[in-house]
Structure 1
Amino acid sequence: MSADQKDPRLAMLVESIVRLSRGELSSRIEPSSARDEVDAVITGVNLLAEELEQVYEQFEKRVESRTAMLRQAHLDMMKMAMSDALTGLANRVALMDGIEEALNQAAAEDTEPPALLLLDLDSFKNVNDRFGHDAGDRVLREVATRLLGVVRESDLVARLGGDEFAILLPGATLEIAMQVARRALDALGEQIHLDSLYIHSRASIGVRLGTLGQTPDELLLDADTAMYAAKREGRNIIKVFEPVMLYSRQLRSQMATELRDAISSDQLVLHYQPVVELATNRILGVEVLVRWQHPLRGLIPPDTFIPLAEEIGVIHDLDRWVMSASLRQLAAWRKDLPLDDDFQLRVNLSAVELKQLDLVDHIRGLLRELDVPAHSLVVEITETAIVTRGEVEMYSLLSLKQLGVGIEIDDFGTGYSSISYLRELPVSMVKVDRSLLVELNTRTGQLDFVAAILQLIRAAGLEAVFEGIETREQADQLRAMGCASGQGYYFSRPMPADEATALLATTRHLRVDEGAEGPERAPSF
């Protein structure tokens, strides 16, 4: 080939190099039969292209592998973000997404709207307090398993936090929702066996059937409202949402705000009900009963606002106010009236207050400030407040006893009612609940039953006080059994401080020859 003639292989070589630079790694040039220097360069370029292609293929594989890993990590993170770490159920975020999807699907396809069940375990806090949080977590996992066993494949079970669960039923009728709710109650009603422990995990359930145009937040609020109505009505029951429930909840929310202000604005008042010696009708002391003098609603009984105070976390402030105000009243009576040396003020303490580390110091300080002897004060504790026998509660009771304060178990006969555990506690008195007297003369064997309870209490070295005495016959029967003291409408209704002061100033013995019976019953607190 002459020098002035161009070798076509050179053009092919340049074109191949350009294609390689553009990423066309499959580009190859067929060498000629000349096997000269140009063919050598062509072979080198081909080899380079093969190496680049292999490198690129390996790079692509690594990129695909890394992309798959990142995609899986993202999916895992999304799954974690949408699920409850303890139970593996859907969480609140996933539930809200599920509700929105079910509502949108029902609207788009003109099908049945979803139903939402909200479940709250009854008295779950007692499980944590009595058996520990590890046992509580195991109970929650078992509850999750049982709920998964009562739903359809299309349904969504979620844990919203704490001991609250939800079941979303897409395209469900009220009948289907109630069937699932009843199956859930049955499943949770069976004992949970944890090692040597047998635990009940009953629940209160609120049911809300969705409506077109409703938002997920509105559906959840309505189901939650129905669930709280179930808890207030007695627990371990099912309540279907009704609009009036929402009004009741709004009213309750308003009362909660007002109650916080009432404690600090002198809207609370104390009433006092005499406790008498049955043999002589001598006034042994008074039980303190708190009322709420609402500026618009009038006098509100404690059964209405005490549970609310516990729910919103102001029961501690309420207890402190009652203790301080009642002890100041006792100090005034001791200064101005001829009270007997054994006259005692009986004040209720909540389970929350009993757990306060400064409770004993607070009471000791009040007694010292007001110059009131410790034996003039009796604190009344419900059975459920001390059944767990927590360290703080036991410390408070032992310290109060050492201080000289009397300790009385209130509402005996409505809770655990075990004489054996009462003997292990630093208590001196037991107040027998009024419910045991209601059928004293109408139910066969009730009189003997009450007498047996009295003997058991006395055998344990404790003093029995019967509340709810409403007739002379009941008072005479208790007196004949050997009961030492009691209280009730037969002797006196709870009365404001001025009336109690007038009574204590004029007599130490109640005159009840004609009785003081009334149709109403005394409030429980």
Structure 2
Amino acid sequence: MSVDKDPRLAMLVDSIVRLSKGELSSRLEPSSARDEVDAVIAGVNLLAEELQQVYEQFEKRVESRTAMLRQAHLDMMKMAMSDALTGVANRVALMDGIEEALGQAVDGAPPPALLLLDLDSFKNVNDRFGHDAGDRVLQEVARRLAGVVRESDIVARLGGDEFAILLPGATMDLALQVARRAVEALGQQIRLDAVDIHCRASIGVRLGTPNQSAEELLLDADTAMYAAKREGRSIIKVFQPVMLYSRQLRSQMATELRDAIRSDELVLHYQPVVELATNRILGVEVLVRWQHPVRGLIPPDTFIPLAEEIGVIHDLDRWVMSTSLRELARWRRELKLDDDFQLRVNLSAVELKQLDLVDYVRALLRELEVPACSLVVEITETAIVTRGEVEMYSLLSLQQLGVGIEIDDFGTGYSSISYLRELPVSMVKVDRSLLSELNTRPGQLEFVAAILQLIRAAGLEAVFEGIETQEQADQLRALGCNSGQGFFFCHPMAADETAALLAGTRYLGLGEAVDDPEITVSR
């Protein structure tokens, strides 16, 4: 049968052509003849149906795959803008948010406010309880901060223990309200297992201006935050332009301090430690000062924290150790020092963690021909409270070398006699704060006596610092305290003055204490 004679054949060819072009909805109605042509039409319709099903399934898979890829992209974008540990925004997201809020301010919207928060003493959490506990604390801090802001605000973690809160369209009153709520939220203790942890924060606040860049706003808030940290814990400071000058001055001072250590601008002063029963000089404590060419003599409480902050405390410690031991070696050659005369040198927590500390001290003692028993290293309670492996190795090795170990500023840190018994220490220096109210606060003398007895019970020797009056010296002597130091006996002196004192006498006469505003912190 020809095509011309059967119109179905032309329709069939046309349907096949449309199928080949992707028109899968093309269908032919079979005729009533039910012959071979109808059989072919039925077969083409069936093929079209199957092709359409395959295509629809393919479209669904493509849509599903596209949705998965889109979601994966969104997840990646979210991860790129989120802090992995806490889930809040990260620095990138914060900077984007600041730029957007500042752009809105240019268009007439209220300016944004930025709060920068730094946790107070967070390092102690990691040191005492481990980094896993520290991570959990950071997660809880992020959760609490998220609870004190509006839905439109951004809480971000910038790294370490530093957080930020961005308040788009804010006022100073709103910013301070949020800052106070944050201080209150973080002031509540955090429960970790069976341990209660207090994790407060210092906060800097800066209300933005329309012409500011995001970097400038962040720097100003950061400057205010550091001003808050210098004043204490849980402090809120609003940015003032003068703070930038202070920050620049501190930056300049940091550069000068690095140069000072290299160029010997530092000087050492020495304060005698006295045997209370006889007033005999048992040794001297080494105190470092900075002889600045412009600012004059700078006390240690000004530059020691700066040295720790900028990472030069290690170099400073080594300079003090080397210089003071060389001075002691000279005194031993030129003066008739008592056999039990000891040089007391402060060591920072950073120095105690140096693996080569013991080798360094051993080499110095050998080079200068100074007996190890003539050296006492003073360390603070906080430097060894964690009893880290490196710190314990350093202490044990120094003890085995013959060097004396003394805990400094006892009474201001963790002050636990039980842990002192487990450490390789032989002496405890009781902080001056316990003597300041000795004759004015009821029960203080009995309290000091109890502390002295506890120290003795631990098999340790007590040294009281900050003795400023005859009465204090007599009271400690009556309690059976062996040694002490303070302005009542002698002020810190330069090396040549100390040498002259040691050359002329082994015993200090008794005099009235003179207030010395420069001598506030021992190093």
- 1:66 maps to a residue whose letter is R
What is the aligned partner in structure 2 of residue 517 from structure 1? 514
| Cα pair 2:285 2:343 within 8 Å, conserved | yes
Deviation at 1:327, TM superposition (A): 0.7
- 2:387 maps to a residue whose letter is R
Q: Does 1:241 align with 2:233?
A: no
What is the aligned partner in structure 2 of residue 384 from structure 1? 382
Q: Deviations over 1:467-522 (max 9, x none)?
A: 22233333333333332222222222222222222222222222334x35134252
What is the aligned partner in structure 2 of residue 413 from structure 1? 411
Query: How far apart, in 2, do the equivalents of 1:316 and 1:6 lie?
Result: 106
* CA shift in 2, pair 1:484/1:13, >3 Å: same
Query: How far apart, in 2, do the equivalents of 1:46 and 1:416 lie?
Result: 89
Q: Deviations over 1:219-242 (max 9, x none)?
A: 222222222222221122222222
What is the aligned partner in structure 1 of residue 60 from structure 2? 61
**Residue of 254, 267, 276 corresponding to 1:278:** 276
Residue ranges of structure 1 left out of the alignment (5+ in a row) = none
SS of the counterpart of 2:289? Answer: strand
Where do residues 72-87 of structure 1 align in structure 2 (5 Å cutoff)? 72-87=71-86
| Cα pair 2:171 2:207 within 8 Å, conserved | yes
Q: Deviations over 1:57-109 (max 9, x none)?
A: 2221111111011111111111111212222222222222222222223332x
Query: How far apart, in 2, do the equivalents of 1:13 and 1:83 lie?
Result: 61
Deviation at 1:13, TM superposition (A): 5.6
Query: How far apart, in 2, do the equivalents of 1:55 and 1:460 lie?
Result: 86
What is the aligned partner in structure 2 of residue 475 from structure 1? 473
- 1:461 maps to a residue whose letter is G
Deviation at 1:346, TM superposition (A): 0.4
What is the aligned partner in structure 1 of residue 118 from structure 2? 120
What is the aligned partner in structure 1 of residue 51 from structure 2? 52
Q: Compute the TM-score of the two structures, normalised by the length of structure 1.
A: 0.92
What is the aligned partner in structure 2 of residue 330 from structure 1? 328
Query: How far apart, in 2, do the equivalents of 1:41 and 1:481 lie?
Result: 120
> What's the Cα RMSD here?
2.5
Where do residues 336-355 of structure 1 align in structure 2 (5 Å cutoff)? 336-355=334-353
SS of the counterpart of 1:275? Answer: strand
Where do residues 38-187 of structure 1 align in structure 2 (5 Å cutoff)? 45-108=44-107, 110-187=108-185
SS of the counterpart of 1:438? Answer: coil
Query: How far apart, in 2, do the equivalents of 1:49 and 1:424 lie?
Result: 87
What is the aligned partner in structure 2 of residue 26 from structure 1? 25
Query: How far apart, in 1, do the equivalents of 2:7 and 2:423 lie?
Result: 110
What is the aligned partner in structure 2 of residue 294 from structure 1? 292
- 2:86 maps to a residue whose letter is T
| Cα pair 2:299 2:518 within 8 Å, conserved | no
| Cα pair 1:489 1:521 within 8 Å, conserved | no
Query: How far apart, in 2, do the equivalents of 1:188 and 1:335 lie?
Result: 58
| Cα pair 1:470 1:489 within 8 Å, conserved | yes
- For structure 1, which segment, 391-400 or 380-389, has the greater mean C-alpha deviation from structure 2 after superposition? 391-400
- 1:522 maps to a residue whose letter is I
- 2:270 maps to a residue whose letter is Y
**Residue of 256, 263, 266 corresponding to 1:265:** 263
* CA shift in 2, pair 1:408/1:373, >3 Å: same
Q: Deviations over 1:137-184 (max 9, x none)?
A: 222222222222222222222222222222222222222222222222
Query: How far apart, in 2, do the equivalents of 1:229 and 1:146 lie?
Result: 24
- 1:95 maps to a residue whose letter is L
Residue ranges of structure 2 left out of the alignment (5+ in a row) = none
| Cα pair 2:299 2:519 within 8 Å, conserved | no
- Paired residues in the alignment total 522
Query: How far apart, in 2, do the equivalents of 1:498 and 1:117 lie?
Result: 51
| Cα pair 2:189 2:197 within 8 Å, conserved | yes
Q: Compute the TM-score of the two structures, normalised by the length of structure 2.
A: 0.92
**Residue of 224, 227, 230 corresponding to 1:229:** 227
Deviation at 1:420, TM superposition (A): 2.5
Deviation at 1:409, TM superposition (A): 1.1
SS of the counterpart of 2:156? Answer: strand
* CA shift in 2, pair 1:270/1:52, >3 Å: same
Query: How far apart, in 1, do the equivalents of 2:391 and 2:481 lie?
Result: 29
Deviation at 1:443, TM superposition (A): 3.1
What is the aligned partner in structure 1 of residue 206 from structure 2? 208
| Cα pair 1:468 1:522 within 8 Å, conserved | no
What is the aligned partner in structure 1 of residue 449 from structure 2? 451
| Cα pair 1:488 1:522 within 8 Å, conserved | no
